[in-house]
Amino acid sequence: MTTKPSKSLQTFPNPTPERDYHIHMQVPEFTCLCPLTGQPDFARIVLDIVPDRKCVELKSLKLYMWSFRDEGAFHEKVTNRILDDLVAAIAPRFLRVRAQWYVRGGIYTNVVVEHRKRGWKPAPRVDLDDFDRAEPTAP
């Protein structure tokens, strides 16, 4: 595999396709260029994926994210492009792309886009946070 930026997303078979599970990834150093000024824009990209038959290979994802570094793109366009490219590559049951753009001109911008596979229904959410923070009680 190359070590140069690439729009190619490599995949591998989901090792547990019979189960819904959540893959959470963060790309804290995403960069592209402002299409109007050519100045760099910086973002933290967060991916939340419930895979179906395929998963994205991490090194190819890194090189894919790196491929935007010298491209001009509005925040909304690049966030939607990432979603579209990942859906085309892995056809997930669910995918959320959250782009948290760092301050530019005194304004923070968050762009959130989602894909849901037709007919897929998520299992009810189980929230264990309260359990994790609970203080032990005396017998």
Asked if pLDDT for residue 130 goes beyond 70, the answer is no
- Has residue 128 got a pLDDT over 80? no
pLDDT in tens, 48-70: 999 999 999 999 999 999 999 99
CA gap 85, 31 in Å, rounded = 17
The H-or-E segment that residue 63 falls in is: helix 58-66
More confident position, 134 or 113: 113
pTM recorded for the entire structure:
0.87
What's the mean pLDDT in 10-36? 96
Measure Cα distances from 54 to 41, 84, 89, 102 in Å. 31, 15, 8, 31
Model pLDDT, residue 92: 98
Q: Is 85 a catalytic site residue?
A: no
Check residue 38 and give its pLDDT.
92
Return d(Cα 109, Cα 45) in angstroms, integer. Answer: 12
Does residue 34 carry a catalytic annotation? yes
Task: Choose, from 20, 34, 52, 85, the residue flagged as catalytic.
Answer: 34
Is residue 19 predicted with pLDDT exceeding 70? yes
pLDDT at 109: 93
Domains of the chain, residue spans = 22-116
Give the chain's length.
139
Mean pLDDT along residues 128-135: 61
What is the reported pLDDT for 17?
97
Residue found under tokens 């690049």:
78
User: Is the backbone of residue 64 left (phi > 0), alpha (psi -120 to 50) or beta?
Assistant: alpha
Instruction: Write down the CATH number for the domain with range 22-116.
Output: 3.30.1130.10
pLDDT bucket at 126, cuts 50 / 70 / 90:
confident
For residue 99, the cross-strand partners are: 45, 111
Number of other residues whose CB lies within 10 A of the CB of residue 65: 20
- The 3-state DSSP class for residue 44 equals strand
Rounded CA-CA distance 14/89 in Å is 13
For residue 90, pLDDT over 80 is answered with yes
Token digits of residue 41: 């824009």
